Amino acid sequence: MKLTEKKVSSKAIFDGNVLHVRLDAIELPNGKPATREYVHHIGAVAVLPLTDEGEVVLERQYRYPYHEILVEIPAGKLESPEEDPRKAALRELEEETGAVASELVYLGDYYASPAILDERIRLYLARGLTFAESHTDEDEFLEVFRMPLEELVAEVMAGNIPDGKTQVAAMRVFHMLKNEEEEKKNEAEL
């Protein structure tokens, strides 16, 4: 079955500092014309920093679109389309939390709202953390704190953490660590 849509033309509706709204004329898989409105975003990274004690370094941050303070993992947008996402992840981690990681594990990509937004958030696990002073952006106000990974997963499962990137990263890391424990257990039994 053919599912791919073909772009015929594209025009900018709005160009802001972070968001760029596009209107594309497309051809549907059945050959009929249609339009697609979507928000173009440069891309972002998000990092789940895990201490040796099994705690996740988190942030509380006011998010204007929801008029709420949300609990999130450190994250930020790429500085350019060419920026190495790994370097961006390490930069955002250090800027927001003061943490420096000796190990960075790629967890996959997260698409927050694929029907209207092309933002790709690359997710990482940071381990082997050392801490120094954070240095957030001038317009960034955060409260950094720690929570055991198991507690974070329980909060996600209880519906208390609405931020999608934090949910996905927490569940992926929790599952990954459980698999690592099982592998070690099986190796020890051999």
Q: Annotated active-site positions, please?
A: 138
Calpha distance 104→111 (Å, rounded): 20
7 DSSP assignment = E
R_g (Cα) of the chain, nearest Å: 19
- Indicate the SS3 state at residue 181: helix
Tokens of 85: 């996402």
- Cβ contacts of 34 within 8 Å, gap of 6 or more: 5, 25, 26, 27, 28
Beta-strand pair 44-49/33-40: unpaired
Q: Give the angle subtended at the CA of 156 by the CAs of 155 and 159, to the nearest 5°.
A: 85
Q: What is the 3-state secondary structure (H, E, C) of 121-141?
A: EEEEEEEEEEECCCCCCCCCC
Q: Give how far the C-alpha of residue 15 lies from the chain's centroid of Cα atoms, to the nearest Å.
A: 23
